[in-house]
Structure 1
Amino acid sequence: MVHYRTTITSVGPDVEELLESGMLILFADGAPPELAEVSVQHLVVDGPSDSAPLVGAEIRIGAVSARLTAIGDLAWKKVADIGHVVVNFNGASTAHRPGELSASEIDAAILAAALRPGAEIIIVA
């Protein structure tokens, strides 16, 4: 089941710096300039599904794949309401904040290389 499919439209100039700490910020197209600098902006193609994905669901960014390890209580609502979510690629079993997703670790350089306009981000069960 596809929970979410979106296409990257732009990558802010400060995204790579945040990736060094394992943090990826997604924001729907039209983010305010100060948020656009640190965000990957995107345009939704499919979803979000009515129900949040479960731990273990796959998140694919281009050809890079990880597994969700924790889902904050408010994360999926934020995805649905404003197309915004923070994904921490830290393998944590508990989301640090209610509006965040945690996923298995990915090397920052590999993740940065996958973040290109036109690439898809997909969350599937």
Structure 2
Amino acid sequence: MKIAISSLIVGAGILAACATTPSPPGRSYVAAQVAVANAEKLPVFTYGNQELTVARQKLEASRFAALDGKPELAEMLAVESQVSADLAVAKTSLGKVTATSEDMQNQNKALQQEMRRNLKATP
């Protein structure tokens, strides 16, 4: 009798432990981790720093939601994290292209001014 009761208690304990074990991260969480890691490799600090910070915060919140047994919230936060990381990358790309374009326009203006000076100096 004591063995049966002990077995029931151990069995109930195992079931309870399984019920509270967090599920492995979903695809959205892993995708968000990859997006944040990729964004961190770029110079986003100049153009997309705020978005990267939000992405990190959402990723951490997603992890906590998963640990708290809230898979729907964890999924939503992971997707939001990925979107924020992608936005940081896009803003960085746009910022770099804009800076390059402005630099080229300035160089073009300098060349035009030099050509005008040369035309005036030639008799």
Higher helix share: 2
Q: What is the TM-score with the length of structure 2 in the denominator?
A: 0.23
Q: Which has the higher contact order (CA 8 A, sep 6+)?
A: 1
Q: Normalised by the size of structure 1, how large is the TM-score?
A: 0.23
For the pair shown, the structure with the greater C-alpha radius of gyration is: 2
